[in-house]
Every structure is written in C-alpha cells, then in structure tokens.
Chains A and B, each alone.
Chain A
Amino acid sequence: MVRYIHYTDPNSVEMVRELEQVPRCPGICFFMDVNKSTDMKYEGGLKDWGRKLNNTFNNLLYANHFQHHIVKGIGDEMMLFIPDDTLQKKPANNTCFALLEDIYAGLYLIKNHPDQDLFLNCKVAIHYCTEVYNITFFEGADDYYGSDIDLTARLMGKSIESRIVLSERFYLQVINDLENLGLPSDSGCLSRVSERFFDNFKGVPVSIAYRVIDVQ
C-alpha cells in the first residue's frame, strides 16, 4: 500500500520520523521501452506511431497480465513494479522464471510476427529490488523510490532492440526458482543467456553484474 508523504513544514520532525519508518518493499522492477519510436514519431507522423505504440503495449501488457503493474509511463517507456507478495499470489507469472519467460515470449512475438507493420520492437531491463519504498509525494499517485529503482533505469542503457538486460541479482532469483521447480539452469530462454558482465553506472558506488538475453 502506497504511503503518501506530505508535510507543509520543510523542517518537520514528523516527516523525518515517518521517512525513517517507511518499510522496504522488495520486488521486481522492469522497464520496457519501444526502440527508435521517437525517430518514428517525427518521420512517420503521429498516426502511424500511435497505432504501433498502441498495438505494442497492448500486446505486451495484456497477453502477460502486466497491465495492473504499471507504475508510470512516459511516452514510449514504462516502469513496472511487482512486489514479492503480489507476485506469489498471481495465478500465472508467479515466479521470477515465469515472469522472465513471458517477457521473452512477448518480445519474441513482436520480433517474429509475420506482419511487421503492426508492432514495434522493444527492449527491457529487469532487476530484483530490495532497496525500494512504496511512497509518493503526489496525492493519489502510486510510486516506488530507492536506489534499486535507479539501478534498473541505468540498466536500460545496456539494452538494445529485442534484448532483455537482467541484473545478476534477478538472474540468481530465476536460478533459485528453477532449482525449486527441479528444472535445469538452462531452461526456457535461459539457454540464450549471456555470460556475466560487469559495469559501473552513474550514481552507483560499486560495479554491477548483469547478463543479457537477445530474443531470436
């Protein structure tokens, strides 16, 4: 449940106290972005861009039951967050492995669709967050803040068309799911997962490990 933070006094002691007590809300954060859509908007016009964006987001969200997890959308980019307790209660996509498989399938359907005029290819970054808080400073809004949300956004910089970038922490959650399910570690789209890369990201004090899966 989102906590609305609002104090008129900038020196409010109560505000500091409340912020100190905000609980963490672990879960999965992922960003989806439509590749090169801004260029398309100016080259092809609003009608064609809007039609394809509508089709792409409907396809990705509806076929995967992600539509209830959008935190915010800015034009052609979306941030989604699924808290742990929500994920476990879902009838489908209730593990990190299942979620990854359906994201992969969503990108596959677009990349391999026989009618290439309907959709736009997408890129994704996904991270398992522990340092995250369900708070908002805007009345009526839902939002998530924390260094792990920032990191997910940074990982998007490593993604390209039809690619999923997964943090090592999310990857380990997937491996854990596979062990629990008694499945091999290269099940499903993990047969295409890359080796581990390390990189430094702006504002992140330590080197971050991640992997990529290119949709074929």
Chain B
Amino acid sequence: MEINEKKTGQCVIIGITGRLDTTNYSILEKKLMELIESHHDKILVECSNMDYVSSSGLRILLMALKKITMVKGKFVLCGLQENIREIFEISGFTNIFEIYSTQDEALKVF
C-alpha cells in the first residue's frame, strides 16, 4: 500500500493505493492520528486506487471518523471501487460515512 498526502485549502487529502490490510493498516493509522492530533479536522480519503480493505483497515477508518466527529470536524471518503463499496455496505459503513463518487464532488462539502 502507498499513501500520499496533499492539501487543498483547509482540507487534507489522503490517497490510498493498493491493499489496506493487517500488514500495513498501522501506517494509515499513524498518518491519520498525526493529522488529527495536529488539529487537522477536515480530511478526505481518496480510495479510487485502493483495491482491497480488510476489517483492520475498516477499523482505522472508523477510529478516525469517531475522533474527528468528537471535535466536530469532517472525515469524508471518495472513489470507492465496487468491491470495496460492497464491504462498506455489509459493514453498515455507507450509512455512517459521507461517501462521494469523485474527489471534486467530495471537496465541495468542505
């Protein structure tokens, strides 16, 4: 998995490429927790190049959502591939995350 980071205005965009699973979820966890602890409360996770997520990966996304919600920030996802969307639906995540089809669409909500 590769993670890249860029800023657009107040929003930090985290791009995930490849598989998010038990072998690497801690890298994403570290990155997101660093951002949250340094008071970045507007985060967009770009998932269009993420081709697998295990429950360990889902756990980190839920943790980040809970932390950002506590400080009244915004944590948004975009570009889910079809197989990932299916896992999100089964996990009840589509009802608790704001999810957009494209990055442009997602950026409008910040």
Contacts and interface: CB of A to CB of B under 8 A. Distances in A.
Interface extent on A, as a size class?
A: 20 to 34
A63 B22 contact: no
Main secondary structure of the interface of B (DSSP, over half): helix
A109 B91 contact: yes
Contacts of B4: none
Interface in B22-79: 22-23, 25-26, 52, 54-56, 58-59, 62, 66
B51 to A, nearest CB: 11
Interface-central residue, A101, A106, A119, A187, by most chain B CB under 10 Å: A101
Contacts, number: 70
Given A62-B87, A114-B96, A109 B26 contact: no
A59 B91 contact: yes
A92 to B, nearest CB: 5
Contact of A63 (B19, B55, B66): B55
Contacts of A114: 66, 96
Interface of B: 19, 21-23, 25-26, 52, 54-56, 58-59, 62, 66, 86-87, 90-92, 95-96
Report, nearest first, the 9 A-B pairs whose CB atoms are least far apart.
Answer: A105-B55, A98-B22, A105-B59, A63-B55, A105-B56, A101-B22, A92-B21, A106-B55, A118-B92
